[in-house]
Amino acid sequence: MRAEPAVTDEELAQLRETARRFSIEELRPAYQTREDEGRFDRVLIRRMGELGLIGPELPARFGGLGLTNVASGIVVEQIAYGDFNVAYVLSSGSLIGQILAQHASDELASLWVPRIVEGDALVAIAVTEPDTGSDAARLSLKAVRKGDRYVLSGEKTSISIADQAEAFVVFARTGTKDEGARGISAFLVEADRPGLSRSRLADLGSKAVGRGSLFFDDLEIPSGNRLGPEGRGFVQVMNGFDFNRAFIGLMCIGAAQASLDETWRYAVDRQAFGAPISSYQGVTFPLADLEAQLHAARQLCLHTLSLRDAGAPTPPRLRCASCSRREPRSKQFASACSPMVTMAGRWTFPISSGCATSWVWRLATARRRS
């Protein structure tokens, strides 16, 4: 029933199988427990690091496997099949790991990238602000240079894993507002620095990831924590978002595939009018159509990552990959949950736990577009 992307490289095939087995055997059974607790299981995160599933495309000198972005994308989908929330660790690990590997000093990158790859540390990206959303060109959080240090003051909000992360890649304004995007710089801010406080927001779904606000009260960091040249933060974040959208798209595809596979199983087992409902075209034709949509969505995301691997720019039409690929996931849950929940009269099927997460990501997408 699944349309798997073709993988001919033996190492890549083994990595995909490792991710798939880990996802089904170790992640999927306790998905709801982690969601109820509202936190990641750090033992599982470190286990993923041991298996080489976090940032496999990152350089070997920082603990990665030196593979491709396509390899990482395939792993992300497999992990999302068992737990959409845990797949976020891989998506953000690749995004932040690449930012640090490319723009941080050797000393800073050597300290933090291996910890990300090993699953020893969670590092969050902090762009969104209360008044400007995720418009990186209009940020107002200030970073004022004072000798060999920067002083940060302001607020970030809707930051994923805000209360779980050990550090943050923070985008702040070092120039004037008139400079727009040219006045934005990026910094690595450790979570235990004096002057940083954080709170958690109440969410409908994705509670294991969680979102929160960060408050910077004249927080000081050394100038060595700046990532790249001053005023280049906007370019860094936009380049990162371009390819990370494909990772998010594959997260959604993995979870959507899980919901479809479960629905197929239910359709085979469920009896109505003396036959399994899978024998009725009104049930199977829509599911077959959704399978085709998922296959097309998967190929679009993997093609986007292949362009990244080739060093080619991402065409504007492909930058919408994750936005458009979230829609099939919402359709899968809507189509799959509806008959199962209606017939049961309650939300006890495993698929139902993914509905709230799907709606949260769909709402988040709408918020970012506004």
Place of tokens 């990162």: 240
211: left (phi over 0), alpha (psi -120 to 50) or beta: beta
Q: What is the pLDDT of residue 234?
A: 78
User: What's the predicted TM-score (pTM) here?
Assistant: 0.86
Where exactly are the structural domains of the chain? 10-121, 124-231, 235-369
Superfamily of domain 235-369: Butyryl-CoA Dehydrogenase, subunit A, domain 3 (1.20.140.10)
CATH 2.40.110.10 is held by the domain 124-231: yes
Q: d(Cα 126, Cα 96) in Å, to the nearest integer?
A: 11
Pick the CATH number of 10-121 from 1.10.150.300, 1.10.3720.10, 3.40.50.300, 1.10.540.10: 1.10.540.10
- Gap between the terminal Cα atoms of the chain: 37
Q: What is the pLDDT of residue 136?
A: 77
Place of tokens 């936009």: 238
Q: What is the pLDDT of residue 203?
A: 83
DSSP track, 340-364: HHHHHTSS-SGGGHHHHHHHHHHHH
**Residue 279 structure tokens:** 């024998």
Kindly give the confidence (pLDDT) of every residue in the chain, 370 residues in length, as a single tens digit, with 9 standing for 90 and above. Answer: 444 444 457 888 899 999 999 999 999 999 989 999 999 999 999 999 999 999 999 999 999 999 999 999 999 999 999 999 999 999 999 999 999 999 999 999 999 999 999 999 999 999 999 988 878 788 999 999 999 999 999 999 999 999 999 999 999 999 998 888 889 999 999 999 999 999 999 888 889 999 999 999 999 999 999 999 999 887 877 777 777 889 999 998 999 899 889 889 999 999 999 999 999 999 999 899 989 989 999 999 999 999 989 888 766 655 555 444 445 444 444 454 444 444 444 444 455 555 555 555 555 544 444 3
| Residues 182/174, Cβ–Cβ less than 8 Å | no
Tell me how many degrees the CA angle 338-344-346 measures, rounded to the nearest 5: 85
Q: How far apart, in Å, are the Cα atoms of 358 and each of 101, 198, 301, 325?
A: 31, 26, 18, 12
